[in-house]
Structure 1
Amino acid sequence: MDTDSDAIPVTVLSGGLGAGKTTLVNHLLRSVDERDLAVLVNDMGAVNVDAELVAEGSDLDLDDGVAELSNGCICCELQDDLETAVVRLAREREFDHLLVEASGISEPEPVARLFTTSSRVAASYDLDALVTVLDTRRFMDTFAGADVPERRGGAAGDEDGTRPLSDLLVEQLEAADLVVLNKTDLCEPAELEEAEALVTALRPDAETIRTEFSAVDPDRLLGVGLFDSAQLGDAAGWQRALEDEADGRGQRHDHGGKHEHDDDDHRHPDEVYGVESIVVRHRRPFHPERFAAFLRALSDGIVRSKGVAWIAGSDLQIEIAQAGPSVHADVRGPWIAALPEIRRDLYRSNRPDLEWHEEYGDRRTELVFIGTELEESRLRAALKDCLVTDDEWERDDEPDSPFPGEVDEDETVVLREP
């Protein structure tokens, strides 16, 4: 990717609370000889403890090389402060590379978009890589074991501070260009292999580095040029599984007939260390209560589920997002087929590649399941049991639904929580 030679490279560090981000920053400050680093540290507290620790662990003073943003999250309420801070740093430029250490509850994508879409920021900076630091032991306990991380803090769109950290951790991994598997000394070799396989399933193109105590060679982390703005928001494992499934089948086709239950089912071919990706597609709606019960009872082996569902009695596309123990549903928008004819035709003319069924339009279910030791036949059978029956479809029942019922960006239904 071509970059401006005068632009300042930026590395954004994300990761859960206690994963080792601050330790990594201090390691880089002590280890880098040929580059002058500046550090911007974000902490949720009124006192920026991480900034103090970075300053103590380096030759930098808080007013000379370490900038701090406190009492908020740089991916949401502190976006303006972040923009002001990085513009000021560029104007006073006395460094070669900027490290942004996001708080443990920050989403990396909004931070990345600031460096790529803000004209004030993009004029001075080039995003080098989005790095997620992983507490590998905690990751395995959460997604390959029985433990669940406690819920602390909040995140964008979570005003009551009860968002499970498993949700955020998966999103941090799905956005990463490079994943630092830290605290590997606490894991067995087989667990490390499985952890890497899970990371690859969640973010197929991400590079991984195993380490203890965040001791990473700076040359493997800085100046690596891994960020690709074209893939931002579109490179997660579940998205790749859908794309590969479509490519494998060539031109998508629909089966006619009102009582055809399955459009197509597909099993992603990449299976290593027991990690699988399964794509399920249907052209028949789910019974809302049965489908909600299915989601609440998902197997512990399912690490990630994502996609859109067709719910009986609703004209809304329901987005399903599951990460470990957490499952929630949001409204993506109305089905285009449910819009008034003029609007429907306009949407279709603007989206010539839109998959369209003669009778059902764009109504469909596309779900991806990623996990370990998935019982595929049982999973598919359970989902088929959730579909409305012929009698229910003929009666055009409108059962009570636990799913969102209005187009409201703030309406999220939590179906299962830790």
Structure 2
Amino acid sequence: MEPNQKTPVSILSGSLGAGKTTLLNHLLATAGDRTLATLVNDVGEVNVDAELVAEGSELELEGGVAELSNGCICCELQDDLETAVVRLARDRSFDHLVVESSGISEPAPVARLFTTESRVAARYTVDTLVTVVDTPAFLESFGGEETPRRLGSEDDRPLSDLLVEQVEVSNVVLLNKADLCTESELAAAAELVGALQPDAETIPTEFSAVDPDRLLGAGLFDPKRVNDLPGWKRALAAAAGDHGHGDGAIGEERDDHGGHHHPDEVYGVSSFVYRSRQPFHPGRFAAFLEGLPPSVVRAKGTAWIADNEMRVSIAQAGPSVRATARGPWIASLPPVERDMYRSNRPNLEWHDEHGDRQTELVFIGTDYDESALRAGLEDALVNDHEWSDDVDLEGRFPDEKGVEVVVREP
């Protein structure tokens, strides 16, 4: 590599057992003239993946693999990760760095380490974000067959939610274990990936075998777009452009139809956006979320909950739904603070009565009944009687800790 030239980095993510370590060993065995450095993370006391890579590639562990143990490289061990990659660049000469994150890591925070102003960014440039998917498990998870999980804190994330977020920021998704799927199942999995991340390239693989040129030196990562990749963000943006935001007051006609998007209807994957300037009844909205059909693969956005001055973020993936308080509505702040925030956000949509309070939710799924979902959402809204008579709205949503997890029965 030329002096002062930045080293490209490929970041591998995926669920536990999907085939990340098998892929890393495959890349080491087929890299050709490239000299690869690898950084492997595991979450246990013993870094099993690092041992497997070292054994499979016939490398000395300390000479070829920089290991981090007992934590996730995108959070607790962020400082250790930075130290490790800087040390690698200082001590060894190589053409490409491959980072295998643990099965419970998000790739975006790892990528940001290499793109923000730091001693790491001065030496490296992100090349490609790769997610390895266990295709049969992926289809099963979003077909409503996954065993329900009940979680009680924000630190305990549903695996389906994490998998979706790994796919949503990917440049390349390997549909691994393709030999265990039919052609129809592979096509359905590819379309699901396309709905979650429209620009992702999908590659069916067996034992994670793929041409290394498609992952190393592909130059697919764009740091300016990493936050705009997910399909749900694009659906919201497209609906806003096509239909505008609903701004009707309570009792007036509201534009809550949103947009409807069909990425590719061959397998029935589509999306729609729901907007409303009327708040949800906390109990009825929780019941609606709990009753979401398995055909809804992803729901994401912000909800306005009655009797709650906090913006509530909704994140559903497969059988789990998370509702998290994300801070107050600007309209609920004291006048001076509210006006300051508004002056700093000239493009903020503002309703004369409700300010910035509104619901914006996007739903992505396969062959769902959109009219039934819209009717359920309408029924979950606070009605005019409840609003005008100041009826006591039982239950708070989310709870006092700010997190509520709703688990759908399969």
TM (norm. structure 1) is: 0.93
| Contact 1:319-1:330 within 8 A present in 2 as well | yes
Mapped pair 1:120 → 2:119: yes
Find the counterpart in structure 1 of residue 181 from structure 2.
187
| Contact 2:195-2:231 within 8 A present in 1 as well | yes
Where 2:41 maps in the other structure, the secondary structure is strand
Which of these residues, 258, 267, 271, is aligned with residue 265 of structure 1?
A: 258
| Contact 2:302-2:311 within 8 A present in 1 as well | yes
Instruction: List aligned pairs for 1:213-252, cutoff 5 A.
Output: 213-249=207-243, 252=245
Mapped pair 1:411 → 2:386: no
CA–CA separation in structure 2 for the residues paired with 1:399 and 1:49: 51
**Structure 1, unaligned runs of 5 or more:** none
CA–CA separation in structure 1 for the residues paired with 2:127 and 2:107: 13
Q: What amino acid is the match of 2:253?
A: E
Q: What amino acid is the match of 1:124?
A: R
Find the counterpart in structure 2 of residue 27 from structure 1.
26
Find the counterpart in structure 1 of residue 196 from structure 2.
202
Find the counterpart in structure 1 of residue 299 from structure 2.
305
CA–CA separation in structure 2 for the residues paired with 1:147 and 1:331: 26
CA–CA separation in structure 2 for the residues paired with 1:357 and 1:189: 50
Q: Could you give the per-residue CA deviations for residues 82-136 of structure 1, whole angstroms, max 9, x where no partner exists? A: 0000010011132110000001111111111111114110000000011100000
CA–CA separation in structure 1 for the residues paired with 2:149 and 2:391: 40
Q: What amino acid is the match of 1:411?
A: G
CA–CA separation in structure 2 for the residues paired with 1:72 and 1:157: 17
Where 2:110 maps in the other structure, the secondary structure is helix
CA–CA separation in structure 2 for the residues paired with 1:149 and 1:188: 26
CA–CA separation in structure 2 for the residues paired with 1:310 and 1:279: 15
Q: Shift of the alpha carbon at 1:167?
A: 1.2
Where 1:199 maps in the other structure, the secondary structure is helix
Which of these residues, 384, 390, 402, is aligned with residue 390 of structure 1?
A: 384
Which of these residues, 326, 331, 346, is aligned with residue 325 of structure 2?
A: 331
| Contact 1:259-1:390 within 8 A present in 2 as well | no
Q: What amino acid is the match of 1:25?
A: L
Q: Shift of the alpha carbon at 1:208?
A: 1.2
Over 3 Å counting, the alpha-carbon distance change for 1:399 and 1:179 in structure 2 is same
Q: Could you give the per-residue CA deviations for residues 306-332 of structure 1, whole angstroms, max 9, x where no partner exists? A: 110011111111111111011111012
Q: What amino acid is the match of 2:326?
A: R
CA–CA separation in structure 2 for the residues paired with 1:168 and 1:7: 30
| Contact 2:172-2:200 within 8 A present in 1 as well | yes
| Contact 2:246-2:255 within 8 A present in 1 as well | no
Where 2:46 maps in the other structure, the secondary structure is coil
Which segment drifts farther, 254-263 or 178-187?
A: 254-263
| Contact 2:149-2:407 within 8 A present in 1 as well | no
Find the counterpart in structure 2 of residue 58 from structure 1.
57
| Contact 2:300-2:316 within 8 A present in 1 as well | yes
CA–CA separation in structure 1 for the residues paired with 2:381 and 2:245: 22
Over 3 Å counting, the alpha-carbon distance change for 1:32 and 1:109 in structure 2 is same
**Structure 2, unaligned runs of 5 or more:** none
Find the counterpart in structure 1 of residue 39 from structure 2.
40
| Contact 1:86-1:121 within 8 A present in 2 as well | yes
Find the counterpart in structure 1 of residue 338 from structure 2.
344
| Contact 2:41-2:73 within 8 A present in 1 as well | yes
Mapped pair 1:254 → 2:239: no
Over 3 Å counting, the alpha-carbon distance change for 1:137 and 1:5 in structure 2 is farther
Over 3 Å counting, the alpha-carbon distance change for 1:5 and 1:150 in structure 2 is farther
Q: What amino acid is the match of 1:34?
A: D
Find the counterpart in structure 2 of residue 315 from structure 1.
309
Find the counterpart in structure 2 of residue 15 from structure 1.
14
Where 2:199 maps in the other structure, the secondary structure is coil
Q: CA RMSD in A?
A: 1.9
Q: Could you give the per-residue CA deviations for residues 357-388 of structure 1, whole angstroms, max 9, x where no partner exists? A: 11111111000111111101101011100011
Q: Could you give the per-residue CA deviations for residues 290-346 of structure 1, whole angstroms, max 9, x where no partner exists? A: 000000111011111111001111111111111101111101211111111111111
Which of these residues, 361, 371, 386, is aligned with residue 355 of structure 2?
A: 361
Where 1:168 maps in the other structure, the secondary structure is helix
Which segment drifts farther, 58-67 or 394-403?
A: 394-403
Mapped pair 1:287 → 2:281: yes
| Contact 2:248-2:254 within 8 A present in 1 as well | no
| Contact 2:263-2:270 within 8 A present in 1 as well | yes
CA–CA separation in structure 2 for the residues paired with 1:262 and 1:287: 19
| Contact 1:313-1:397 within 8 A present in 2 as well | no
Instruction: List aligned pairs for 1:82-231, cutoff 5 A.
Output: 82-148=81-147, 158=155, 162-231=156-225
Q: Shift of the alpha carbon at 1:263?
A: 3.5
TM (norm. structure 2) is: 0.94
CA–CA separation in structure 2 for the residues paired with 1:149 and 1:384: 27
Q: What amino acid is the match of 1:289?
A: G
Q: Shift of the alpha carbon at 1:6?
A: 0.4
CA–CA separation in structure 1 for the residues paired with 2:31 and 2:37: 12
Pairs aligned (count)? 405
Q: What amino acid is the match of 2:346?
A: P
CA–CA separation in structure 2 for the residues paired with 1:393 and 1:88: 61
CA–CA separation in structure 2 for the residues paired with 1:355 and 1:229: 27
CA–CA separation in structure 2 for the residues paired with 1:241 and 1:316: 24
Identity %: 62
